[in-house]
Amino acid sequence: MTQQRFTKLKDYFRETFEQEPSYCVRAPGRVNLIGEHIDYNGGLVLPIAIKCEIRLLARPRKDKQFHLKSLQMEKTYKGMLPENPLDEPSWVNYVFGVIHEFQNEGLEIPGFDALYDGDVPVSSGLSSSAAIEVASAWFIHNLLQTNYSRLQIALLSQRAENNFTGVQCGLMDQAISACGEKGSALRLDCAIPQIESIPIGFSNQTEFLIAHSGVYRGLSTSAYNERRSQCEEALEVICNISGKNYDNLCSVPMSVLNKVQNNLNDVLLRRARHVIKEQQRVIQALDALHNGNAKRFGKLLNASHKSLARDYEVSCPELDELTSWLQSRPGVLGCRLTGAGFGGCTISLVQKHMIEKILTDLKSEFYASRGINPPAFFSEAEPGASALFTPTRAIIEKRD
């Protein structure tokens, strides 16, 4: 966050709440490099935190009330903690979900004044909601001085989303927002769960381009939950027919899927095939990262998109068009849709010397000819949540 933005936020906080903020935290959005719709199937995913983030200035209150305001969303909230999600303003539900989860752990949360600010594009597959959850959880963690690990903060934020807002998301978004490290992708094994930072072995030659499709619809809760239950159904059939007790779809070998395929209907077979093959691609992508093999990594991105579009059916014409346009540009090593799908963004691996040309052409050719001007930018892997100041720490915190 720039000094100018920070000063503006502090001034705004003071005007709104007539007090000085005593905490300032941030949590980033994310882009998933590869391993899509894998987290809730118990496999390995490989996201990075991006430069867009949610910032939160806050101060505890003595009356158990929550006064929540956002610089981007018009509606505000003032009152006690609601038991159930609100229709309007809906963004506050991510905050309330987190408070409920801390309470479920037996912790007492005082009320607070909070000002949210951010530049994570919404409904774009870049996890703005997870960033709100993790920023809120990071603030409460600092306020109560809990000894939660970053992974525990991520798990609590995921439960907030599952239990309060009803989206049965996996752990990926909250994990990378809480645990990301500068210059590294996060290898998250969702079955355990376990995290490891993996330095991006080809970052001296390449950059990641995040380009929006112009479709802001995002994957609806119902379509997302439907994919999830189709995977559960496929796993049940595979276990019954093969007589083996697989813990999750990612641990089913392709040879077993091939053997039982006649017992699965076409939709379930394609869903399972995407998951099992995507998991293999993540393992190969990790290898490519270690070996600095950017070309191989790019090819895996292309294959992932095909599988998401054909087998998992979470793409849309605008995403497909943008993906093929980018895939055919010299300097782009690979491209695919990223996040839940049905709109939102693509992720491309681009050779460093071509980045300016690609961004210019993308805007002047692809977007201009369609009359759209959605977000498109390069981002490195940024660090996960941090506190910029707290009453006891007036310095910029790097890592715990």
Site size toward ligand GLA, by CB under 6 A: 12
Cβ of 88: how many Cβ atoms within 10 Å? 10
Give the per-residue contact string, 273-302, with ligand GLA (x = CB under 6 A; - = no): ------------------------------
As to burial, measured by CB atoms within 10 angstroms (0-12 exposed, 13-18 middle, 19+ buried), residue 290 is exposed
DSSP 232-293: HHHHHHHHHHHT---SSGGGS-HHHHHHHGGGS-HHHHHHHHHHHHHHHHHHHHHHHHHHT-
Least separation in angstroms between residue 11's CB and ligand GLA is 34
Take residue 141 and report the two structure tokens written for it: 């963690």
Q: Which is the catalytic residue, given 39, 113, 117, 173?
A: 173
CA angle 43, 48, 54 (to 5 degrees): 120
Judge whether 173 counts as a catalytic residue: yes
- Residues from 149 through 208 that contact ligand GLA (CB under 6 A): 169-170, 172-173
What amino acid occupies position 288?
A
Take residue 310 and report the two structure tokens written for it: 């054909």
Least separation in angstroms between residue 291's CB and ligand GLA is 25
- Residues from 77 through 136 that contact ligand GLA (CB under 6 A): 127
Beta bridge partners of 336: 347
What amino acid occupies position 247?
D
Of 220 and 291, nearer to ligand GLA (C-beta) is 220
Least separation in angstroms between residue 344's CB and ligand GLA is 9
Q: Is there binding between residue 39 and ligand GLA (CB under 6 A)? A: yes
Of 45 and 387, nearer to ligand GLA (C-beta) is 45
Q: Is there binding between residue 331 and ligand GLA (CB under 6 A)? A: no
As to burial, measured by CB atoms within 10 angstroms (0-12 exposed, 13-18 middle, 19+ buried), residue 174 is buried
Least separation in angstroms between residue 123's CB and ligand GLA is 11
**Contact with ligand GLA (CB under 6 A) among 13, 17, 23, 40:** 40
Least separation in angstroms between residue 169's CB and ligand GLA is 3
Q: Of all helices (H) and strands (E), which one includes residue 345?
A: strand 345-351
Q: DSSP state, 110?
A: -
**Contact with ligand GLA (CB under 6 A) among 44, 340, 345, 385:** 340
Q: Which residues contact 247 (CB under 8 A, 6 or more apart)?
A: 42, 191
Q: Which of 128, 311, 312, 122 is nearest to 217 (CA)?
A: 122
Q: Is there binding between residue 36 and ligand GLA (CB under 6 A)? A: yes
Least separation in angstroms between residue 157's CB and ligand GLA is 11
Q: Is there binding between residue 218 and ligand GLA (CB under 6 A)? A: no
| CA dist., res. 335 & res. 31, Å (int) | 13
Of 37 and 159, nearer to ligand GLA (C-beta) is 37
Q: Which residues are catalytic?
A: 173
Binding site for ligand GLA (CB under 6 A): 32, 36-37, 39-40, 127, 169-170, 172-173, 339-340
